[in-house]
Structure 1
């Protein structure tokens, strides 16, 4: 279900709106979900600890309900302005914590080139340290935490957004979607909290 909503809708010829919604009837019609029911989908959405999905049940007719992934798309038809909420400079200046989790094996490249969105539409960040309030945006297995100065990036014209499940997102700049290391505040090892940047 995650793959379909984030990456595969176009390939599977499913209608997808600019805010990422797909008709639930279209999802249930996929052979990959053969046998799944409306109740199954509702259970998956409700029980997802990272709150990856949103179910639009605003229409009283359940045949018109829609489902989407809250973030993580590679589908270009999904538009930031329709899916996400912009982070304001005021919000960023008011103590917003923004952390990207990564692995030691990537640090040399990141330190030199910055963060890259890769095939996704955005670079993903946690909106604070991992806790009961911060449930998504960074893998718990991350070995490094890169703290980002969102206010400086926004002031320089690099927009940040917040998803419905509180993940911070940035498309980066240029064709490759890079967030340069000049926006890094510090980098800490998760294992022992040691600061490796700046050193």
Structure 2
């Protein structure tokens, strides 16, 4: 199974499921719909015959979906087009993070920065990755999109951001949209962008950058242009995110609550993916 051998069996099963749904379905010959869904029965059958994913049944998959703090997955019961009686079966997909180019999951197009519930889009990364990102920008790497969170670590479990982030890159979404960059909002609240034609979100679209030092966030001087309105929006976003999580550090902060300003407008799965995620999330 995927993941670190020191991880619990539950975590390794979840990482293997994530790898299949985001990256490995084609290589493992598991049929996938254009919207990213695969039959849960196909996952279970794969688990039975594969040494990579043994001991997984329907209940295991269902529990992973229900208990995942970032709501990475979605299960639905829909007709099976291959069934002569149009029988309904269970399907599962990853909500985002795909490298399979033919997958197009349901997403809401963002036409204005105010379409983002908190009004904020921020990318968390490591100090090591930042030295390259500062020069070239954020890259989607082998994935279909660059992932951005609606808040910062410490305000609940936020889809689109790692807990281990050391650098926070705030994106000027409106400037990027005006320059022709597309943005979308996934079903579990992650802000997604394919970047430019080369798959990059260039540094010119970075609004500000902060370094996490303990419980403090320290702006990097060369990436911090004074903007009281944006600072206020950040503060409001933090309150909004706190409201989304209800003060629960394990809750998911993706409910459609707006900040005051936005109310009116509204290591790893595999070595390749590990390197991708180190630089892209």
Distance 2:218 2:62 in 1: 42
Shift of 1:38: 1.6
Larger radius of gyration: 2
Deviation at 1:90, TM superposition (A): 5.8
Residue from 74, 79, 98 that aligns with 1:54: 74
Contact 1:24 1:63 in 2 (8 A): no
Could you state the TM-score of these two structures normalised by the residue count of structure 2? 0.64
Provide the residue aligned with 1:174 in structure 2: 197
1:183 aligns with 2:205: yes
Does residue 1:101 correspond to 2:118, yes or no? Answer: no
| Whole-Å separation in 2 of the counterparts to 1:93 and 1:127 | 8
Q: Return the offset for 1:37.
A: 2.1
Residue 129 of structure 2 aligns to a residue in which SS?
helix
Residues 23 and 153 (structure 1 numbering): CA distance in 2 closer, same or farther, change over 3 Å? same
Q: 2:195 & 2:212 partners in 1: Cα distance?
A: 24
- Residue number in structure 2 paired with 1:114: 137
Q: 2:217 aligns with which of 182, 193, 196?
A: 193
Listed as ranges, the gaps of 5+ residues in structure 2 are 1-16, 81-85, 225-281
2:246 equivalent in structure 1: none
Unmatched 5+ stretches in structure 1: none
In structure 1, distance between residues paired with 2:182 and 2:192: 9
Does residue 127 of the first structure (1) align with residue 158 of the second (2)? no
2:175 corresponding residue in structure 1 = 152
Q: How many residues align?
A: 195
Aligned-partner Cα distance in 1 for 2:53–2:137: 39
Inter-partner Cα distance in structure 1 for 2:89 and 2:223: 52
| 1:34 CA displacement | 3.7
Name the SS of the counterpart of 2:142 in structure 1.
coil
Q: Deviations over 1:114-134 (max 9, x none)?
A: 1111111111111122323x5
**Cα distance per residue 1:12-42 (max 9 Å; x no partner):** 1111122111111111110244442222111
SS of the equivalent of 2:217 reads coil
* C-alpha displacement of 1:59: 5.3
Structure 2 residue 95 is matched with structure 1 residue 70? yes
1:9 corresponding residue in structure 2:
25
Residue matched to 2:165: 142
Q: Does 1:40 align with 2:56?
A: no
Inter-partner Cα distance in structure 2 for 1:120 and 1:64: 29
Q: Aligned in 2, Cα 1:170/1:155: closer, same or farther, shift over 3 Å?
A: same
Shift of 1:91: 2.6
Whole-angstrom distance in 2 between the partners of 1:186 and 1:114: 13
